[in-house]
Amino acid sequence: MTGVGRKDGWTKEMDLQILKLRDARVTWKAIAAELGRTVESCCARYRTIVPKGSRQRFVSIRRWSKEDEAVLMRLLDERRKPRQIASFMGKELQAVYSKIQHMRQPGREIHIERLPRVAVPEHCLEDRDRRMRADRDLTAMFFGDPPFSQSALGKKQRAYA
């Protein structure tokens, strides 16, 4: 067979081979390599020879069992990171994220608390807030803006409080 990107037409044997490989749940990448075509051309040919209603769509065979869900919940309770969970369970990282997202849907209470990456002492946070307030006050004085308590937003917030 010639290389990828062939320009010659599709034969009946190629069509049958696409159907046979697709029924065997072979990936499009492997089908394209087998036929010496691009993935896009194989997909397009499949769409051409198989009517839309009878095309096969394969659902992932990697389903989550009740035991897998229990292990996932236990690991989340132990505050394990999704990457560690995926490695431990032998699952794809995206599959773990998707399952966690699915479990967060309404009616399912699950919460992953994200801790800050750097622990900042409380007195440093207070100092930062004090400096930011002072900077805001200096800016207001320089530009002639009213202090926050006297601004339109401040008045509106006080009215609804």
78 located within any domain: yes
Question: What's this model's pTM, rounded to 2 decimal places?
Answer: 0.37
* pLDDT reading at 1 higher than 50: no
> Which single residue is written with the structure tokens 């369970």?
89
50 located within any domain: yes
121 located within any domain: no
Query: What does the pLDDT read at residue 71?
Result: 92
Tens of pLDDT, residue by residue over 7-29, are 678 999 999 999 999 888 888 89
42 located within any domain: yes
Which residue range is the domain that position 36 belongs to?
12-54
> Rounded distance, CA 102 to CA 81, Å?
17
Number of structural domains, the chain? 2
Tens of pLDDT, residue by residue over 62-96, are 678 888 889 998 999 998 999 999 999 888 888 89
114 located within any domain: no
16 located within any domain: yes
146 located within any domain: no
- Of residues 122 and 113, more confidence is placed in 122
Query: What does the pLDDT read at residue 35?
Result: 92
30 located within any domain: yes
